[in-house]
Structure 1
C-alpha cells in the first residue's frame, strides 16, 4: 500500500501500488545515490527476470514509500533490502517525476557506503563503482531505467547549489 498524493505532495488516499501505477496516480518514491569513499557512484544492473525494466542499469536504489513512512525512512529501508547495507542517508532533492512507470514524487538521497554492497541477487545481476565521467559515458552506451537520467540530473544540480539555496 502507498499514499496517493497530489501535485503538492499532500496525501489524498491509501491505495495499492499496482493500482497507483496502472491509473497513473501520483505516489511517493525514495531513492539513494550511493557513493564510495573515493566519490564513485554505484551503478546496478537489474535482474533479467524482474517485471519492471529487466536488465536495465540504474543509478540509485529505492522504491515506493510505504503508508506513514517518511522519504528518509523509505530510503534507509530500501538500501538495506536491495543492497544489504546500513548507512546514513542524506536528503538531496525532491521533484515531480513523470518518467518511468507512472508519475510520482521522487526524493533523492545520498549515502556513502562503508564497503561493497551485498545486493539481493534476485533483484540485481551486476553492480560496480563508476566515476562521474564513466557513469555519463555508460549512460550513452547502455540501457538505463527511464528515471535514471532525471534522478542524476537533479542530484548533480542540487549538489552544485550553494548551501541553503532551494
Structure 2
C-alpha cells in the first residue's frame, strides 16, 4: 500500500504532495518520524526486520517509525507508528530532527522517545525478533549486527540530545539543522 507524503525543501517547508514511492524513486525530500523506545528501567527496544519487508529486510533497527502523512505532525506520526507496529499507545516526546541522506532516499528525520511497556506485540509481517538492551549493551550489539543505514545516526543524535531518564512532557523543540 502506497501513501501520500509531503515533499519538503532543505528547510523542511512543504512544496508539494507526492506518493511516497515516487518520493523514494526520485530522491525527493519528505518527512519520516521515528521513536527510540525505552522501558522503565532505561533499556532500549531493538528489533530485526522481517526478510519479507521491501526496505532493508533482515536488518536491525533502534527505532520504530515511518513516513509522516500529509497534514500530520512528526509527533502524531511517531505515535501512530508505535500503535501500528507494536500495538502500543504511548506519549512520544520530540528529541530532534535532521536532514538524513542515508537510506533509500533523502528525508527529514524526526527523532522521538517514549517509555513503553516491556510487553509489545510487533507486527510479525514486519518484525521477526525484538529485545531490550541496556545502553552499555546497545553499542556493542550495533557493532556486531547489521542495522539499517540511519540507525547509527539516530543513536548518535539521540544520545547527543538526551541522556536516558524519565521523559518529560515538555513540548516539541524546533529541532536542529
State TM-score, norm by structure 2.
0.90
Quick check: 109-118 or 30-39, which moved more?
109-118
* Equivalences for residues 7-18 of structure 1 within 5 A: 7-18=10-21
Give the SS at the match of 1:126. Answer: strand
Among residues 73, 76, 82, which one is paired with 1:79 in the alignment?
82
**Which residue number corresponds to residue 166 of structure 2?**
none
Q: How far apart in 1 are the matches of 2:29 and 2:118?
A: 35
* Equivalences for residues 110-125 of structure 1 within 5 A: 110-125=113-128
Q: Which runs of 5+ in 1 are unaligned?
A: none
Contact 1:30 1:106 (8 Å CA) reproduced: yes
**Which residue number corresponds to residue 50 of structure 2?**
47
Q: How far apart in 1 are the matches of 2:22 and 2:135?
A: 36
Q: Report the alpha carbon displacement of residue 47 of structure 1 after superposing the two structures with TM.
A: 0.4
Q: What root-mean-square deviation, in Å, do the aligned CA atoms of Structure 1 and Structure 2 show?
A: 1.5
Among residues 53, 62, 70, which one is paired with 2:73 in the alignment?
70
**Which residue number corresponds to residue 147 of structure 2?**
144
Q: Report the alpha carbon displacement of residue 114 of structure 1 after superposing the two structures with TM.
A: 2.7
1:95-135 CA-partner distances (Å, limit 9, x unpaired): 11111110000000000003321110001000000011211
Return structure 1 stretches of 4+ with deviation > 6 angstroms: 163-166
State TM-score, norm by structure 1.
0.95
Contact 1:87 1:114 (8 Å CA) reproduced: no
Please state if 1:103 is matched with 2:121. no
Contact 1:43 1:58 (8 Å CA) reproduced: yes
Give the SS at the match of 1:110. Answer: strand
Q: How far apart in 2 are the matches of 1:135 and 1:115?
A: 16
Q: How far apart in 2 are the matches of 1:140 and 1:95?
A: 23
**Which residue number corresponds to residue 130 of structure 2?**
127
**Which residue number corresponds to residue 59 of structure 1?**
62
Q: Report the alpha carbon displacement of residue 152 of structure 1 after superposing the two structures with TM.
A: 0.6
Q: Which runs of 5+ in 2 are unaligned?
A: 164-169
Q: How many residues align?
A: 164
1:30-75 CA-partner distances (Å, limit 9, x unpaired): 0000000000000000001111100100000000000000000000
**Which residue number corresponds to residue 26 of structure 1?**
29
